[in-house]
């Protein structure tokens, strides 16, 4: 048995409309790797769905094991016990495709067509990212906007314009120094201290200097150079020489507590930011 992979439970609805006459509700398992704010958002979505289709469809949501998710997903397919619905990042599709059933070429037909899903309603790039050699595996759930969350009250307190976040390196450094001098944590570039998030922050600094990870043919790594080292040094200095934050710190918690001036995070932080009560702003 191979996993039918989808980003949206809407696909499942379309496939089982004709099965509602059964006495027992149709039970589906939905595995995700979400955690923190995005996990809470998905819990709310599934809660609303289960309430709307109560007695007809029941979705069991299992999530939160980010580090083990893809390995567990592959093993569940090999064992013949995969979830009916799952999440997959587009950058993981190449390595995961062998474990998934193409939605447009499944044993029972074109599931996308059967569910009435219209590709034209999605951003072209997002839809195309779910396809390999004419086989379509993914239905887009979201695209991530990663940007700068900042505390407007802290900005105003230190003499910065709360409606004008920094746009240049000089303005950014000035803001960090003012915020630090006022006794706050100035900046967190990676949400928390997980290595994959710190690595992602390094990517951003490297790319901002025009760096590329690989050559045009993807045959050689091209980041072991002065730009790559400078980006790494800047990342290290944030938590050391610059004193803008502390090693091992959690920027999510700092920001939600009103103790952090600026945080780089994705749109998944929105729910937490709203509930925190912090007077926040966002810059792409």
| pLDDT higher than 50, residue 240 | yes
> Does residue 79 share a domain with residue 26?
yes
The reported pLDDT for the residue numbered 139 is: 94
- 41 pLDDT band, cuts 50/70/90, is confident
Q: What is the CATH number of the domain that holds 132?
A: 3.40.190.10
Averaged pLDDT of the chain = 90
What is the rounded average pLDDT of the residues 26-52? 91
Predicted TM-score (pTM) of the model is 0.75
What is the rounded average pLDDT of the residues 96-125? 93
Domain membership of residue 129 as a residue range? 3-136
Residue 141 lies in a domain: no
The reported pLDDT for the residue numbered 10 is: 38
| pLDDT higher than 60, residue 274 | yes
> Does residue 126 share a domain with residue 22?
yes
Q: How many domains does the chain have?
A: 2
- 67 pLDDT band, cuts 50/70/90, is confident
- Which DSSP string corresponds to the chain? --EE--S-HHHHHHHHGGGTTSSSPEEEEEE----HHHHHHHHHHHHHHHHHTTTTEEEEEE---TTTHHHHHHHHHHTT---SEE---GGGHHHHGGGEE-GGGBTTB-HHHHTT--GGGS-HHHHHTTEETTEE---------EEEEEEHHHHHHTT--TT----SHHHHHHHHHHHHHTTSEEEESSSSS-HHHHHHHHHHHHHHTT--SB-TTS-SB--SSHHHHHHHHHHHHHHTTS-SS-TT--HHHHHHTT-EEEEEEEGGGHHHHHHHT--EEEE-
Q: Which of 93, 109, 136 is the last residue of a domain?
A: 136
Q: Which of 136, 169, 193 is the last residue of a domain?
A: 136
Q: Which of 99, 115, 136 is the last residue of a domain?
A: 136
What is the rounded average pLDDT of the residues 228-239? 97
What is the rounded average pLDDT of the residues 109-129? 94
């Amino acid at each position: 048995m191979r996993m039918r992979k989808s980003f949206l439970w809407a696909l499942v609805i379309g496939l089982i409309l004709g099965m509602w006459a059964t006495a027992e509700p149709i039970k589906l398992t939905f595995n995700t790797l979400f955690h923190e704010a995005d996990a809470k958002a998905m819990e709310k979505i599934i809660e609303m769905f289960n309430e709307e289709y109560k007695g007809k469809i029941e979705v069991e949501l299992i999530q939160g094991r980010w580090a083990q998710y893809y390995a567990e997903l592959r093993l569940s397919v090999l064992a013949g016990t995969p979830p009916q619905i799952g999440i997959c990042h587009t950058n993981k599709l190449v390595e995961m495709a062998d474990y998934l059933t193409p939605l447009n070429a499944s044993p029972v037909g074109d599931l996308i067509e059967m569910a009435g899903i219209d590709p034209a309603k999605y951003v072209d790039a997002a839809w195309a990212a779910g396809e390999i050699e004419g086989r379509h595996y993914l239905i887009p759930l979201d695209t991530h906007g990663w940007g700068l969350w900042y505390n407007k009250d802290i900005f105003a307190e230190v003499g910065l314009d709360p409606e004008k976040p920094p746009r240049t390196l000089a303005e950014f450094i000035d803001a960090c120094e003012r915020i630090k001098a006022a006794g706050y944590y100035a900046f967190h570039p990676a949400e928390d201290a997980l290595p994959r998030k710190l690595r992602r922050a390094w990517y951003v600094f490297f790319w901002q200097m025009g760096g590329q990870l690989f050559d045009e043919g993807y045959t050689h790594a091209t980041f072991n150079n002065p730009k790559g080292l400078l980006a790494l040094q800047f990342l290290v200095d944030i938590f050391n020489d610059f004193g803008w934050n502390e090693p091992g710190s959690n920027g999510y918690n700092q920001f939600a507590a009103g103790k952090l001036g600026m945080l780089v995070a994705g749109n998944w932080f929105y729910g937490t930011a709203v509930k925190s009560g912090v007077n926040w702003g966002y810059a792409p």
